[in-house]
Amino acid sequence: IDNGQVSYQCRFLESESFKKNHIAKRIVVTEFGTRAIPDPCQSIFSRAASIFEAGRSISDNPMISIYPFGDEFYALTETPIMYRIDKNNLETIEKVEIGKKLGVVSHSSHPHIAQNGTIYNMGMIITLNGPQYCVVKFPPNKNGNVFDLATIVAKIPVRWPLNPCYMHTFGMTKNYFVIVEQPLSISVPQMLKGRMCADPMINCLRWFKNQMTFIYVINKANGKLEKIFKAQPFFYLHIINQYEKQHHIILDICCYRDPAMVKCMYINTMKQMQFDKNYATMFRGRPIRFALPLQDKQGNEKLGQINENLIKLSFTNAWAYYGNDGFINVIPEQLYDIGCETPTINYRKHLGKPYRYFYAISSDVDLKNPGTLIKVDIESKSIKTWNEFNCYPSEPIFVSKPNPQSEDDGVVLSSLVWGRRSTHKVALLILCAKTWREIGRCSFKTPGPVPKCLHGWFANHRKDKSS
């Protein structure tokens, strides 16, 4: 977007996996849910050798998100690999292997960016004591590459060493990191077995339905684990926001009862969804709020007895109570009765701080218009919606006015694609963030099919010389 003009670009990111698949004219590198076909260009000995070389047998396609690291933009996935892209023409420039620099074997595709430019991300490392979750810090580096100064600033043990938890994101407040260890794990034995037979990663996931969710609170200043909370099992992909308030951490998450919705994303399953009465139920996630008390009962007997609610905050109905095992159990409140996914906020102003609004795509696939864009007012418990028949928006991105007078003083951007036979059409939608009314749209006809956007980032034109 520049001087009232809008342009649209779409380009394949030329990862090593993409190049191999392109040369072989088939999928020869196993993806998250796709089994590879043997590469006809490889001998049987070369195929066997590739099993023991991570760079050759694991996909490096960074197809999930894009974030600024310093003044450059990188595409991310959940393997420890990033690709730098040209923000002007989307050309693939450079591959960065975080694993080689820091020893991490995975990292989140949703890092957090502090107001001073420091970037934090969650990953996993292998130590002499087994796998551990870790937080990586990327300080601003005016004199060179932002990755040169990267360090691991926190580590905590994995609950099940052979079944580390799958986590798509993490939380960060002013003073704490929040890691939510759901009982959806990656089976290490199954993953090693899968490497031998090109089994996709999705077949390595294990859901422990009778195990609790653990919520870890880590001190940001010293990297030490301060609190562990327990919650009933749930599945999640995205945290909405988190912040500190009156000696509590308020944690808002888009949650599901179980991870059944992951397998709903198979193409064959989606083709049959109109005939499957359980399909919509599997997608029935809801936004919920936990309140995590930070005060310690030790030396303060009035803090709470077993099964007594510790939460005295006026603005939430969430519960927290001591169990017989000495852990604090937390019970969330539902923020609103509508499915929410890819939630976003006024990120630059309200990450890790109290907030009122979030924006999302409804995950209720049985709505009249699936893919409805929603604005949720947490304080008034109300929503605003925008939708259009046969239209599927991308993650809504909030862009503030230059001198905002309120949290929602700005616009929300989303890219639109259409179903059925409108696969060569794409548009930029602009909504007023306050009223949730459409105030602008720019549509394009493309020479080829338009892929649906997943996550995005708004790059300020004046600051980043791109938008």
| Sequence-ordered alpha helix ranges (H) in 59-187 | 98-102
* Nearest one of 266, 168, 260 to 209, comparing CA atoms: 260
Is 248 annotated in some ligand binding site?
no
Distance CA 441, CA 265 (A): 29
Distance CA 174, CA 187 (A): 34
Is 247 annotated in some ligand binding site?
no
* Nearest one of 99, 96, 105, 106 to 70, comparing CA atoms: 96
Please list, in sequence order, all residues whose beta carbon lies within 8 angstroms of the beta carbon of residue 74, skipping any fewer than 6 positions away: 62, 66, 67, 68, 82, 83, 84, 85, 96
* Nearest one of 176, 301, 355 to 249, comparing CA atoms: 176
Look-up: residue for tokens 């696969």? 423
Is 107 annotated in some ligand binding site?
no
Q: What are phi and psi of 44, to 5 degrees?
A: -60, -30
465 dihedral zone (left: phi>0; alpha: psi -120 to 50; beta): left
Is 168 annotated in some ligand binding site?
yes
Distance CA 180, CA 159 (A): 12
Check: CB of residue 371 under 8 Å from CB of residue 392: yes
Q: Which residues are annotated as a binding site?
A: 110, 168, 238, 455
- Which residues make up each annotated binding site for Fe cation? 110, 168, 238, 455
